[in-house]
Structure formats: C-alpha cells, structure tokens
Amino acid sequence: MTQDIALRPVVDLALEDAERALLEKSADGLFPATLPLPEEPGLGGRTKADIWTALGVSAVCALMPVTILWALIGAWPGLAVGLAAQAGLIWVGVQFGFEAFILTVVGVHLLAWLLIVVLGCGTDERQRVARLRHGRYYLAEDFGDDSLRELLGHSPLRRMERAQAAVTAVLQSQVDRDGLLDDIANDVTLPAQQYEIAQRLAELTRLARKVRTAAGDASGSRVEEVLRIQRQALRLSSSALEERVEALERYAENTRAADAAYREWEAVRELEQLGEDMHELVVNTVRDELAVAEIEGLADRSRLQDLHRMLDEAREAGLLATRFADEPADRRSGDSGRA
C-alpha cells in the first residue's frame, strides 16, 4: 500500500490531550527530537522584529483606533471600543486643542506598544509546549531521507509514512467509528504502536547517520568489514520493524474491506426496508391504471351524454319545425292578421 502523504507529527500518547492536540496540529514551530533544542530567544522569545512591528501597530492604535482594534480584540468588541476611543480623541482635540490631542496620542501610543509587546509577542502556548515536550514527538526530519537506504535497506521516512497512513485508515473507517471494532482499543493501541515505530525508526536513523559520518571517505578491508557487520545489525532491526508496519497495513486493508462490506450491508438493509413502500407503490400503480380506465370510461360516457343532449335538442327543434310546417298557411296568415 502506497500513499503520497506528508508525515504529521507523531506524538507520545502519554501526553495530556490538550498538549497532544497542539503538537499534532502541524509541524510548524516544532523541533526534531533527534536534533538539539535551539536556545530560546531572549525576552521570552520576543525579537527585534516583534518590537518594531508592535511599534507600528501601536501607532495606528493610538491615532486611528477604529481602524485596527477590531482586528486585535474581535470584530464587534473592537469596533465598539475603537469608535469610543476615536470619539474620545476627537473630543480631546476639540475641547483642549491640538497640543492636548498630540500628547494624548503619544501617551496612548506608548501604552499600546507596551501592552502589545508584553501580551501579544513572544513565545505562545504551542511554542512553549513544543519546547517543554521536546523529544516526545517526532517530525519528518527525524527519519532521514533516501540517502540512508544503503545502510538500512529502506527509507525510514517512507516507512513511517506507511505506518501513519495505515493507522489513519483504521481510525477513520466507518466500522471503527460505528463501534464495530470495539473489541480492539484502536484509539489507544494504534497511536501507541505508531509512536513505538517512530521511536525505533528515529533511533535507527540516528545510528545510521552516525555510522555514515564515522565511516566518512575511509576505505579498506577493515572498514568494509566493520561496515558490513553494522549494516547487518541495522537491517536486522529494520526487518523487524517492517513486519510491524506490514501488520498495520494488513489491518488497514482488512478494515477497508470491512468498510465496503458494511456499506453493502447498509445498502441492502435500506433497500429491504423500502420493501413495504415498494409494495404500496405497486398497489397504487395498479389502482392508478384502473383509475385511468375509469376516467377514460367517464370521458366516453360524458361524450355520449353530450351527444344524447345534442340529439334531443335537435329532435325538439325538429318537432317544433315540423309542427309549424304542418299548419295551414291561411291559418298562420289569419293569426298574423288578428295579431
């Protein structure tokens, strides 16, 4: 199974959930476990760039607070406070003159700059946890690259990616989410397995790097013999890890198959539940067909009724016309004369 994915931080399961969530978010700002922890910048992680940036932001806050406070303390609270502060500055300028206005702006500027530097700059919570828990999480840099393949017989990074992909596939499966694998504590067991594999791979990477550095450009039969022995030891340990990764991948493949079977079973169950509705649909269809015939019959009868009515009217008109035609002409003229 191969998947081209970026390796996410592999974090010790024993850490608190909040710390794990911070560290697992991304690799940005974290430090490889196999490298020394860099020294923290002075002033609590605040840099010269932080100080100059805070100076510019505080100047805008002091002169036109309505334009920036919404971005610093939230949309509606910032807009309300910004409008109030802007109105206050205008009032000071109108009531006490331009000099008082400038002094107020300068005072607000210094106060805002101090607050931004103290509260808004420096090491944040995630960076603090990253330093505090250094060595208890692993990044892609901890697993070397393809240059170690000669010593280990594989790429440690690629193997770690495979293990993480397998664990993710199981934990994100539908059968696991629906509790069908509850006899296996996947949420605990699989992350623990992943972390152990990361520890072993990081150690293999560290030792392989040391062997490569120690050997350097040296050559000779004795060097080759020592390298051969150490390469055998590294590859023996690597083979054992490969078995663990393959076991995870088999579990992921079986889980995918179970997911497919589960989706099929759900589809069949839903279709079976539609059986009664389908039966009712068929019954209604038969009723509709009978109703169509009945409607057509009514239409035919309606047309016959119209025809009968029209024939009756014709007969009445014919009878009336016949009666007038049978009367004598002199009687009709006499009746007309008397009229």
Q: Are the C-beta atoms of 34 and 194 separated by less than 8 Å?
A: no
**Which residues of the chain fall below pLDDT 50?**
1-4, 298-304, 307-308, 315-316, 318-322, 324-325, 329, 331-339
Within 10 Å of residue 115's Cβ, how many Cβ atoms? 14
Side-chain half-sphere CA neighbours of 309 within 13 A:
6
pTM: 0.61
Rounded to whole angstroms, the Cα distance separating 283 from 190 reads 53
Residue 15 has a pLDDT of 92
Rounded to whole angstroms, the Cα distance separating 264 from 268 reads 6
Q: Where are the alpha helices (DSSP H) in the chain?
A: 17-24, 42-45, 48-63, 69-73, 75-96, 98-115, 125-132, 149-152, 156-171, 174-177, 186-215, 221-273, 275-326, 329-338
Within 10 Å of residue 41's Cβ, how many Cβ atoms? 13
Q: Are the C-beta atoms of 245 and 252 separated by less than 8 Å?
A: no
Residue 146 has a pLDDT of 77
Q: What is the DSSP code string of 256-301?
A: HHHHHHHHHHHHHHHHHHTHHHHHHHHHHHHHHHHHHHHHHHHHHH
User: pLDDT tens digits for 257-289?
Assistant: 988 888 888 787 777 677 666 666 666 665 555
Residue 315 has a pLDDT of 47
User: pLDDT tens digits for 90-112?
Assistant: 898 898 998 898 999 899 888 88
- State the DSSP H helix or E strand holding residue 10, giving kind and residue range, or none if neither: strand 10-11
